[in-house]
Amino acid sequence: MSEFCFKVIWLKYAIAIAVDKRFKNNITIPITSFYFWPRVDGWKLLKHELELKPWLLKEEKIKILNGYTKIIHSWKENFKNDKYIKVSDLEKKLNFTLIAID
């Protein structure tokens, strides 16, 4: 299975997530746009975009959607009471790169 990573913009009132494909030489290419949550239903938009990529395996699509969901849940839990988290631990656990934080 291919390896995917998430790019995350972690804001106080929203989160934006995009997906990249990572190759063996650690080069990444974007495979999706950024989807903001809760401003739009990013999960549904991401699912639709993934469905338009016939080269992705069904298992890969599920893995990506599950990762998106985990990141959103972590964001909701950690910004509910304006508390900041140790993002580096979360980045490793959920395989994402934080590209901006507010």
- Top pLDDT among 41 and 101 is at 41
Amino acid letter, residue 32: T
Rounded to an integer, what distance in angstroms lies between the CA atom of residue 43 and that of residue 77? 18
Q: Report which secondary-structure segment, H or E, holds 72.
A: helix 58-79
Q: What is the CATH number of domain 3-101?
A: 3.30.390.140
Q: What is the reported pTM? A: 0.82
Q: Please, which residues bridge with residue 37 across strands?
A: 15
**Structure confidence by residue, pLDDT tens digits, 62-98:** 999 999 998 888 888 876 555 555 566 666 776 788 7
pLDDT at 2: 52
Rounded to an integer, what distance in angstroms lies between the CA atom of residue 92 and that of residue 56? 23
Q: Locate the domains of the chain by residue range.
A: 3-101
**Structure confidence by residue, pLDDT tens digits, 30-70:** 999 999 888 778 889 999 999 999 999 999 999 999 999 98
Q: Is residue 19 scored above 80 in pLDDT? A: yes
Rounded to an integer, what distance in angstroms lies between the CA atom of residue 38 and that of residue 41? 6
Answer for the pair 60, 54: CB distance below 8 angstroms, yes or no: no
Answer for the pair 36, 26: CB distance below 8 angstroms, yes or no: no
